[in-house]
Chain A
Amino acid sequence: MPAAPELERVPFTGLLVTFAGELRAAGLAVGSGDVLVYCSALSKLNPADLVDLYWVGRATLVNRHDDIAVYDRVFRRFFLAADEGASDPLTLMLRASAEAQGALAIPSTEPGESEHEEDAILGWMASDVEALKHKSFTACTPEELAALRRIMARIKLTPPRRRTRRNTPARTGPRPDPRRMVRETLRMHGEPARLYWRRRKVRLRPLILILDVSGSMADYSRNLLQFAHSAARSAGRVEVFCFGTRLTRVTGAMECRRPDEALERAARLSFDWDGGTRIGDSLDAFVRGWARRGVCRGGIVVVCSDGLDRGDPAVLASALERLSRLCHRLVWLNPHKGDDPGFRPSTLGMIVAAPHIDLLLSGHDLSSLEKLATLLPTLG
């Protein structure tokens, strides 16, 4: 090796590039720039040292904590081949978590033939829109649901605003704007003409939707997911989570422009679609994994669930108590509330949740979602 380092480098680089390709195949976003950095970093180190090889790759090719497990797995397969228990430090460090495999059912979100019937439905919808508005989602035919979804896509969700610490030039305001003043003064040949002002900007609060996709909620949740999709596309910062027995973040899936594709991707992400409910554990997971780190700080959290919890109500109570302290406002959509104004929560989960909720709405039909859209900006 020391005899001809230049020659040695060529096949070696090829190996590294192949490794990067393997990572890419495993789903990591590895750009060619990253590969360049990876190779030049290794040229400063001893590439025959397996530990260096491992850490340099991890520092240069991985840039998300969640990807580390994937990297570990590919590294082990690629460089350690069959030898699983290689050198000691590596076996200690390469602890790839077993990835859960689950069969999943992708719900058909849209009846197949609706595409070419769209015009007909839209025409019919216009005349019947008021009736449809108050029809509960469960009672709708698939065609009616498809029509509702199109209306829903047009509801704009506007979370309340808050003042930020950033300033912006304004006609009047509490703070002078020296930068503009100096510029204008120069323009006037040194004569300060008038005062310029700045005031604090306003910004939309983040909106966090946490949707129950368990069996008891399935009919509603698909529509709500659609609602979440249009919300994610209209409002500023929106995070979407789904839960049945465990919590899944589906914000990434919502970035798809086409709603059907977005819903399908979200369904693929949440393994427990149409399964059981563990609200307490799921919200607890949300509080621990996300809320504590500040995801919903100053934001509006909208939980949509019927409160039928199979878990321990104490877990739900403590999770909600924490959540209500961490977020700005907590809104709960319970489809079972329906249109009944004198609704009293009957499920144990709802009774436990009641003291921590700022606003309880139904969300079982279109008009109630419109109500949410109108009430949302007033929650500031």
Chain B
Amino acid sequence: MEVLGFPESVGELTETLRQGGYLADRGLATALFVSLSLNRPILLEGEVGVGKTEVAKVMASVFGRKLIRLQCYEGIDTSQALYEWDYARQMLHIRALSEHQVADPDAVDKLFGPKFLLERPLLEAVRTGDQAVLLIDEIDRADDEFEAFLLEVLSDFQISIPEIGTIKAASPPLVVLTSNRTRELHDALKRRCLYHWIGYPAAEREVEIVLIREPGISAALARKVVAAVQRLRELDLAKPPGVAETIDWARTLDFLGEPDLTNARDTLGAVVKDRDDLEVVLDNLQEITSGARGA
């Protein structure tokens, strides 16, 4: 079954991702390849804006799979993640049944049948199976009870609904979990996942990334922006800019028709998003942009 272009090797996967507009380094590509071949969820951690969520989106688009996203937040519970019964319709149905005096023995069974079941992301992913990429985004935001609940889903890819029974994925979807490390995740959850840490890319790679995401930008501008951002990361900033910020900044400068960073001051808002950081950057602006020019 090579119809979906299932990758044969790490190199092939890297190439496929590149065509999808994502430059994965060897480590990430290896982890994704293993995750695909062994059907294991992959947990991505890393600084903000290094493309953790993007991995899932690109994997979905290059393999023609459906992206199912579960955005985690504090207080998320099963009815938002798994399934929910359509209570309003159930109530109406019950009223209708009693008014027409229908004594159908199957009536109650129908009431808790697929017709009244609202699928939420996890159930949808299990049903779709290997035609889906399930993105569980920012799992660290959900409370820890939710992690425990994810265990069953992630280890067996099956969901038990008391009224219907157990639904099991014939072949499991690719599962990508992301975390910003606002707290340590439970070991039990981590044990079921492959783990990969995405760091900031090296300068040449980041230039490539900018060019592949924004093909309209001149290579010279991209190089200057990347050099400046790399310099910003060396500064003692509270929130160092991620790759997403680099791309944003390059796009902003390009949109304004700036050939280089001489007027960088006006566009700093694309990369520096903290007032204290802004002060530090403005103090060193000359050095940052001139360093970029030298590179």
Contacts and interface: CB of A to CB of B under 8 A. Distances in A.
Nearest to A93: B27
A237 B8 CA distance: 46
Contacts, number: 114
Interface string A187-198: 001111000000
Interface in B176-231: 180-184, 187, 190-191, 193-197
A13 interface: no
B75 interface: yes
B183 A295 contact: yes
B190 A56 contact: no
A59 B35 CA distance: 9
Interface stretch (A62-70, A103-111, A134-142): A62-70
Given A51-B26, A190-B97, A59 B31 contact: yes
Given A65-B181, A185-B91, A294-B183, A59 B98 contact: no
B29 to A, nearest CB: 8
Interface in A11-52: 29, 31, 33-34, 37, 40-41, 44-45, 51-52
Interface stretch (B15-23, B38-46, B164-172, B259-267): B38-46
A63 B195 contact: yes
B39 to A, nearest CB: 11
B87 A59 contact: no
B238 interface: yes
B108 interface: yes
Nearest to B29: A55
B95 interface: yes
B190 A64 contact: yes
Report whether over half of chain A's contact residues are helix, strand or loop; otherwise say mixed.
helix
Contact of A288 (B108, B181, B183, B238): B238
A259 B30 CA distance: 44
A55 B193 contact: no
Given A166-B77, A178-B87, A191-B98, A294 B182 contact: yes
A288 B194 CA distance: 27
Given A56-B30, A185-B94, A37 B187 contact: no
A55 B87 contact: no
A186 B90 CA distance: 10
Contacts of A192: 91
Given A93-B27, A178-B88, A295-B182, A190 B34 contact: no
A194 to B, nearest CB: 14
A122 B31 CA distance: 58
A60 B34 contact: yes
A59 B180 CA distance: 17
A185 to B, nearest CB: 6
A182 interface: yes
Interface residues of B, number: 49
B73 interface: yes
Contact of A181 (B38, B87, B108): B87
A89 B9 CA distance: 19
Contacts of B97: 190
A191 B99 CA distance: 11
Contact of A55 (B30, B75, B140, B276): B30
A52 B10 contact: yes
Given A44-B34, A45-B30, A33 B183 contact: no
Nearest to B45: A65
Contacts of A295: 182-183
Contacts of B98: 189-191
A191 B35 CA distance: 51
Contacts of B111: 186
21 contacts: A44-B37, A45-B9, A45-B30, A51-B26, A55-B27, A56-B30, A59-B27, A59-B35, A59-B42, A63-B187, A68-B197, A89-B26, A164-B74, A167-B77, A181-B87, A182-B85, A182-B94, A190-B95, A192-B91, A294-B183, A318-B276
Q: Which 3 A-B pairs have the closest CB atoms?
A: A165-B75, A178-B87, A294-B182
